[in-house]
Amino acid sequence: MAELWLWPLALGVLGAVIGSFIATLVIRWPQGRSVMAGRSHCDQCDAVLGPRDLIPLLSAALARGGCRHCAAPIDPRHWQIELAALAIGVIAGFAVTGPVGMAGAVFGWLLLALAALDITEFWLPDRLTITLALAGLASSLLGVDPPIIDRFIGGAAGFGALWLIGTVYKRLRGREGLGGGDPKLLGAIGLWLGWQMLPAVLLLASLTGLAIALTTWLMGRGGRLDDRMPFGALLAIAAYPAWLFLLGYQA
């Protein structure tokens, strides 16, 4: 019984800490600012932050969403990403205990970083996508499904399918229809889930995109068929439920 709560609690706390790093990465990396070097500091006044300022979620809540030194509003992406990372850890811990649960949490946290960057910057960095792909291959060493051959097929099929769609669209329409990072991301997801789950990921991502577009139109915010949409973020959002489903199917 204790183990039932131990893993969700541990991965949730770890997720909040990792979420703090992911938020910093999402905010600073596109600006060309250092993520790793130096001490943490306020994005507005550059004041060095102490331990009391760096407790995920709690510090921002106690400071009422503002910097303790200059009172400037803290970027809401900090607490939003920290909360999402905490939730990913808790869900992974409840889904399965042990190293497999830890691997699933890592999968979710990497997807979160990529989704956040795609939503805010329309950017899927190759270094993060490659990290996701390598982590997928490493997770196969835990001896869980899908088999390694299915993962390799998934990686090739995921990349190849979206690359082909993007190439054909550009030939027919004379402009880009998919970002260059989307095929790489689906390929990396395929290395985690295998080829069998890719149609479900694509379907869920597409339906989510359609629901967002329809909601935007119904709310009177405009929206056209050729508006940009972070499809990589939709793939990332769809991939984590697919991993959970895969676990349930194996059970």
In tens, the pLDDT along 157-191 reads: 999 999 999 999 888 888 887 888 999 999 999 99
2 falls in which pLDDT band (50, 70, 90)?
low
137, 81: one domain = no
Residue 54 lies in a domain: yes
Between the alpha carbon of residue 49 and those of residues 39, 42, 61, 69, 220, the distances in Å are 8, 7, 15, 9, 42
Q: Where are the alpha helices (DSSP H) in 122-147?
A: 126-139
pLDDT per residue as tens digits for the range 25-39: 999 899 887 776 656
The radius of gyration of the chain from alpha carbons, rounded to an integer in Å, stands at 19
* Pairwise CA distance, residues 21 & 230, whole Å: 22
Q: Are 83 and 57 in contact (CB under 8 A)?
A: yes
Residue 59 lies in a domain: yes
Q: Is the pLDDT of residue 16 over 60?
A: yes
Residue 131 lies in a domain: yes
45, 146: one domain = no
Give the pLDDT confidence score for residue 46 in this predicted structure.
67
Q: Are 44 and 63 in contact (CB under 8 A)?
A: no
Give the pLDDT confidence score for residue 185 in this predicted structure.
98
Torsion of CA 76, 14, 113, 26, to 10 degrees: 50
Give the pLDDT confidence score for residue 10 in this predicted structure.
96
Q: Is the pLDDT of residue 225 over 60?
A: no
**Where is the domain boundary, 52, 74, 95?**
95
162, 42: one domain = no
77, 141: one domain = no
77, 133: one domain = no
pLDDT per residue as tens digits for the range 57-75: 887 777 667 777 676 787 8
2, 57: one domain = yes
Q: Are 107 and 135 in contact (CB under 8 A)?
A: yes
Q: Which residue would you say has higher pLDDT here, 27 or 218?
A: 27
Give the pLDDT confidence score for residue 202 in this predicted structure.
96
133, 245: one domain = yes
Give the pLDDT confidence score for residue 223 in this predicted structure.
56
Give the pLDDT confidence score for residue 221 in this predicted structure.
66
202, 91: one domain = no
**Phi and psi angles of residue 56, each rounded to the nearest 5 degrees, phi first:** -55, 135
Residue 106 lies in a domain: no
* Pairwise CA distance, residues 129 & 35, whole Å: 18
* pLDDT above 90 as % of the chain: 60
Residue 119 lies in a domain: no
| Domain total in the chain | 2
Domain hosting residue 189, numbered range: 126-251
- The owner of tokens 């880009």 is 176
Token readout for 23 is 């938020």
132, 89: one domain = no
58, 167: one domain = no
Residue 89 lies in a domain: yes
Give the pLDDT confidence score for residue 103 in this predicted structure.
95
Residue 104 lies in a domain: no
* Pairwise CA distance, residues 232 & 230, whole Å: 5
Residue 115 lies in a domain: no
86, 160: one domain = no
- Residue 91, Cβ density class (10 Å: 0-12 exposed, 13-18 middle, ≥19 buried): buried
Give the pLDDT confidence score for residue 86 in this predicted structure.
97
In this predicted structure, which of 1-10, 90-99, 188-197 has the lowest mean pLDDT? 1-10
Residue 99: Cβ within 10 Å count: 13
Q: Which amino acid is at 34?
A: S
Residue 2: Cβ within 10 Å count: 5
144, 84: one domain = no
